[in-house]
Amino acid sequence: MEQTFRDHLKTLCPLVDNLRLMIGAARHAFNRHSPVQLENLARLHKTITLEIDPFFERVEAGLKKGAATDEPYWLKLKEILTHLEMMTDRIASLGDHLRYKANHGIILSEQNFIVVNNLFSNLAGLLRALVDIFELNDSSLKRYVVQESQKLTDTCFREQVTHETRMMDSPGQPDAWSVYLAILERGREIAAHLADIIKALD
């Protein structure tokens, strides 16, 4: 069953690639107020949601009809699928904030703009690494993704706290602050799901 489990992980790679494309669409929508990329984000969300369902069905069938010794593998696969599904929803939810930003002509500060772009770049890179992990099961790469995901989670949290403190100390654009903090929160959640996927592999 170990090899079958690894083979199932490899079949998840196209889903992860689509998650990475969702991050790319979100980044373009953020930078360019692009309605086309917002539509692309929604389309990819729908595609992944439809494509992931058969994997859940396969897991449920395995849990119901498979050998008792195989149950831990099916449960691990179910946990991984659940995290992927939740990541998909979190990335898709960025669309509401990005649409609001575009419709209201909201402009973030240069520093916040850089932070968000770095966040998107790092998430895309970690998703690329997740594909490699599913294909190769490399232990050093798994450690790297867990460490970098934790760093990203910590960075988002610190930036949120710093920004909220700054909001209390000075007037500014409440709408811009709201969008910025929402993106950071989603980034933190996505990075946490990435780390949890890696932990579920072992």
Residue 8 in contact with residue 77, Cβ under 8 Å? yes
CA dist., res. 188 & res. 36, Å (int): 26
| Lookup: tokens for 34 | 């692009």
CA dist., res. 161 & res. 98, Å (int): 21
Residue 142 in contact with residue 200, Cβ under 8 Å? no
pTM: 0.93
Q: SS3 for 9-78, per residue?
A: HHHCHHHHHHHHHHHHHHHHHHHHCCHHHHHHHHHHHHHHHHHHHHHHHHHHHHHHHCCHHHHHHHHHHH
CA dist., res. 84 & res. 78, Å (int): 10
pLDDT along the chain (202 residues), means of 10: 90 98 98 95 98 96 91 96 98 96 90 95 98 96 96 92 68 78 96 96 87
Q: Is the dihedral of CA 7, 89, 97, 95 positive or negative?
A: positive
Q: Which of 24, 27, 28, 17 is nearest to 129 (CA)?
A: 17
What pLDDT is stored for residue 172 in this prediction?
56
CATH of 2-201, one of 1.10.10.10, 1.10.3720.10, 2.40.50.100, 1.20.58.220: 1.20.58.220
What pLDDT is stored for residue 109 in this prediction?
87
DSSP 170: S
